[in-house]
Structure formats: structure tokens, C-alpha cells
Amino acid sequence: MENNTMKAAEKLLEVKDLKVSFYTPVGEVKAVDGISYDLKEHEVMGIVGESGSGKSVEAYSIIGLLQSPGKVIGGSIVFDGENVLEYDEEKMRQFRGNKVSMIFQNPMTCLNPVYTVGNQLMEALTCHNREIGRKEAWDRAVEMLKLVGINNAEKRMAQYPHEFSGGMRQRAMIAMALICSPKLLIADEPTTALDVTIQAQILELMKDIQKKTGMAIIFITHNLGVVAEICDRVSVMYAGQIVEQGSVQDIFYSPAHPYTRGLLRSMPRVDELEHERLIPIEGTPVDLLNPPAGCAFGPRCENCMKICLAHRPPLLDVGEDRHVSACWLHVKEMKEAQQE
């Protein structure tokens, strides 16, 4: 299967114990609190979690777009063998958009309203390749617009963003992100602001382009359906930590962490014959200013034990193919298995 080719592939991105904090007047907010994962070339990784779980912050720190007062305070991000966090400003600039590019949530506001789409596409190319001539840049931009399925590309180049529909703008954003042929695309909820039919089109397009170009994608979303559609692997984030990570099959068919199980239970299913009641996850998201001492999910967890409230659970292998989960239940199960 696909997985076999993936195992042979090189590690493209290696995030180790990344910590990002926001220093606000009321105290330190640990938006990302020690997460680690690998991404291989050509792999599509989904990052899911609720609002404020740190999924976007984590992605922004890869590409160096963290807004003040956010700061990376620990860990490393190794891309293609180089630690991105050690880059100086100029090196980071050359890295952004060239090796890693990003698309965002709201295509309506992400394009500059006063420049033509063509102009904005071309500058994404020329700012990394000074030798490229105008004609060549123009041709490449037209080619990219055609790739993302925009008809009349030549004419569209001279138009302004307000003459594009929402879906078309997101297509143009994708074209812009891909114009330098990056090895990794970070998509920060690229379909959230679009209506459902357009969502499906954009997802289809991204899948298609991923197959054609073979780039890796980090897909940030809170929509599990989208994850199932496009991703190879999934990281589930909660309160700035990865609580479970595994292949799409593992996450959907044998979820190990109570939070992941809760998420899946709260999602309606189309294939169910009878209408079943959706079961919500009780409680409220963590206050990151005062995170609990133990497992962040502990206070909301139906299986919560004493140890959960006192100590943070380690990430443990719970299955094959790098399926890991951080829950004291696994430790308990392992001990029981050993005793037997």
C-alpha cells in the first residue's frame, strides 16, 4: 500500500518538543506545550483539535509567522536537515514561500485588494528568483492558475481579487502557494470559510495537486470529515499537546485516547441506519492560563483516575505504524497485560 512507499521516504520535517508561549499581561499562555512529530516527504498530515488547542500556532512557528507576543521558547523544528528556528531573518524569508508555503482560512481577506491577482502571483515567484523575467513569471503564473482550475487564466491575471468569488480566491491562493514548488504546504483551515460545495471542490483540488506534485501537506482543521478525505496521518491536539497520533485508519477505526473517542462520538454519521444521539464531550476547554497539573483532558475525561489529575501521561505506542497516544489508561492496560 501507500504506507510502504512512505516508509522508504525521507523525513522532511521533524518537530521535537516544540514549546510556544504567549506572554500576555495576565500571564504566560502555553499555546504549544512540548509537541513532537515527524512528517515524511509526500505525506499528508492532518492536525485536528478544537479552537485554541494550538494547532495554528504550531504551524505558524514552522514558517516563522508567529505574531508578538507569541514566542518559541523551546524545542527544535528540523526541515530537510536544518533547524528552522536557528535561521536569521533573511534566511527565514528565503525559506518562506520557497520551501514551505502556507494557505489560510479566509480567502476573502487574504489577497491584497489593490493589486491584480497576476501581480500577487508573480511577486511570489520573483521574490525568490531574481533572474526570472517578467514574461517567464507571467507564463508560470498563468500555468499555475490553470493548474488550480481557473478558466480564462490569461484574463483573470489582470483582474483584482474583488472580481473573484470566494472559491476562486482560495484557488488563486493555492496557486500562489505552489508557484515556487514548495516541498511542504501548510493549509490552515483552508475550507472553513467556504460553503460546503466549494469546500468539496477545494479539497478535491488539493488532493489532486498533492498527487501530481507529491508535496507534503500539513492540514489544519477541526473538521474530522475533511481529515478522513485527504490525510494519511492525523495528530489530535488538545491544550497545546498532541494527545494521539496515527494513520487515518487507526484514528478513525481504533482510536485510543478518550478525547479522540469523544470527538468521533460527537460527529454525526451518514452510514448509520437509525438516528443515534450524538454524545458531546462534557465540560469546557482548558484555560491555558491555568492548565491542570496532570493530563489536560483529565477534568473532562469520563475515565479520569487519580493519577490523571496529578501527572502528565507519556506518549506511548499503542499500535503499529507510529500510532501513539498519551493516556494513563494505556499504562494501566500494559501493567495488567504484564501481570497476566
**Which residues contact another protein by CB under 8 A?**
63, 65, 93-98, 101-102, 104, 106, 109-115, 123-124, 127-128, 160, 162, 173, 176-177
Please classify residue 263 by burial: count the beta carbons closer than 10 Å to its beta carbon, then call 0-12 exposed, 13-18 middle and 19+ buried: buried
- Least Å distance between CB 63 and another protein? 6
**178-210 CB burial, b ≥16 within 10 A, e <16:** bbbebbbbbbbbbbebbeeebbebbbebbeebb
Q: Output 84 or 296, the one with its CB closest to another protein.
A: 84
Q: Which is nearer to another protein, 109 or 152 (CB)?
A: 109
* Residue 334 Cβ vs another protein, minimum distance, rounded to whole Å: 43
What string of DSSP letters covers 126-150? HTT-TT--HHHHHHHHHHHHHHTT-
Rounded to the nearest whole angstrom, what is the least distance from the CB of residue 120 to another protein in the complex? 8
The CB density around residue 123, as the number of other CB atoms within 10 Å, is: 17
Shorter beta-carbon distance to another protein: residue 194 or 236: 194
Minimum CB distance to another protein smaller for 46 or for 161: 161
CB of 92 closer than 8 Å to CB of 84: yes
Minimum CB separation from another protein for residue 212, in Å?
A: 21
Closest to another protein by CB, 64 or 75: 64
Smallest distance from another protein to CB 99, Å: 9
* Residue (138 or 160) nearer to another protein, CB: 160
In whole angstroms, the minimum distance from the beta carbon of 282 to another protein comes to 35
Closest CB to another protein among residues 162, 306: 162
Question: Can you tell me which residue has the cell 523544528?
Answer: 77
Q: How far is CA 51 from CA 14, 48, 120, 180, 208, in A?
A: 24, 9, 30, 31, 28
C-alpha–C-alpha distance, residues 323 and 176, integer Å: 34
- Distance in Å, CB of 258 to another protein, minimum: 35
CB of 55 to another protein, least distance (A): 17
Half-sphere exposure of 167 (CA within 13 A, CB side): 16
Q: Among residues 24 and 94, whose Cβ is nearest to another protein?
A: 94
Decide: residue 28, CB within 10 A, 0-12 exposed, 13-18 middle, 19+ buried. middle
The answer to whether 46 and 250 have CB atoms below 8 angstroms apart is no
